[in-house]
Amino acid sequence: MRTANRSDVGRIRLVNEDRAWAAELPSGLAAAIVADGMGGHQAGDVASQLAVDTFREAIASVQADLTHEQAKTALCQAILQANEAVFDLAARNEHYRNMGTTVVAALLLGDAGFIGHIGDSRAYKQRGDTLRLLTEDHTLVNELAKSGQISPEEAANHPRRHVLTRALGTEREVEVDLKGFSWQPGDRLLLCSDGLYAMVSEDEIRETLLDEDLDLDAKANRLIELALEAGGEDNVTVLLIEYSDGHPGGEQPA
C-alpha cells in the first residue's frame, strides 16, 4: 500500500485548518483521516488537529482479525471518541466555543474498506477508469437538492453551499455515516477537503488519477495545483491511498 498526503493553505485563507494522517497500523491494517476545522480565533485548526490525534490513538489498537461488522464498529467508535474530545475542549474553554470540524476517515482491510464521515469532506474510490463518490455531503444545499427544491446546477453555486447540517465536536452526540466498499489491488482511495472538489471537477480528478506519467506523489501534487490554479479559495487537502503489492507507505501527517 502506498500513500500520498498533501495540504495547502490556498490563495485566500491565512491559516490552514485542514489536517490529515495515514498509516499502517500495528495490526497490519491501514487507516487514514482528513479533517477540515471551523471556528473563530484559529479554533478550527485546534479542532481538526485534536480530532485527528484522538482518532489516531483510538484506531491504533484495532486487531487484524476483525470481521467487517467489527471493523465498521471500530471506525465509528474512533470517530465518536474524536467528537467527544473536541466537544469537551470547546465546553471547557471559552476561546474554543462552537469550534468543530468535518471528518472523513477510512479503515482498510485486505479485501474491504470502510468509510466513516461527518460534514462535507469527501471520499472517492477509483477502480480502473471509474471514479465513485463514497460519501454524501452533510450540507444545507445538499438537503435542498435531495428534496428537489433546487437543481444540481443551483446547488453548485449556491451562496450557502458551505453551511453544514452536521459537524464533529459541535454537539455531544453526533451521527456518523458509515459505508463499506470492496478493496482490491489497483484500487485508489481519495480523501479530501472541500477545497479540492469545490475548485476541481470530478472529470479533472479522474483524469489526474489515471495519468500514467505521474506517480502517486505527483498525482497528489497535481490535484493541489489544479485547486490553486482555479482560485484556491479554501484550504485544500488531498490524501491518496493506493492498494499495491508493495509495503505500506507508513505514517504521513499533513
Show me where the domains of the chain are located. 2-242
| CA atoms 244, 246, 251, 254: torsion sign | negative
What three-state secondary structure class fits 45?
Answer: helix
Give the per-residue pLDDT at 231: 97
Q: What is the pTM of this model?
A: 0.92
253 touches 5 (CB < 8 A): yes
Q: Which amino acid is at 38?
A: M
Length of the chain: 254
* The domain made up of 2-242 is a member of CATH 3.90.330.10: no
Segments of the chain scoring below 70 in pLDDT: 40-41, 142, 145-146, 148, 151-161, 245-254
Straight-line distance from the first to the last Cα atom of the chain, in angstroms, rounded to the nearest whole number? 18
The pLDDT, as a whole number, for residue 227 is 98
pLDDT of residue 202: 95
Closest CA to 217 of 5, 8, 1: 5
pLDDT of 105-159, one tens digit each?
999 998 999 999 999 999 999 999 999 999 999 998 767 766 767 766 666 665 5
**Residue 59 belongs to what H/E stretch?**
helix 43-59
CA distance 107 to 59: 9
Neighbours of 159 (CB within 10 A): 7
User: What integer pLDDT is reported at residue 250 of this predicted model?
Assistant: 41
Cell of 140: 444545507
pLDDT of residue 90: 95
| Confidence at residue 143, expressed as pLDDT on a 0 to 100 scale | 72
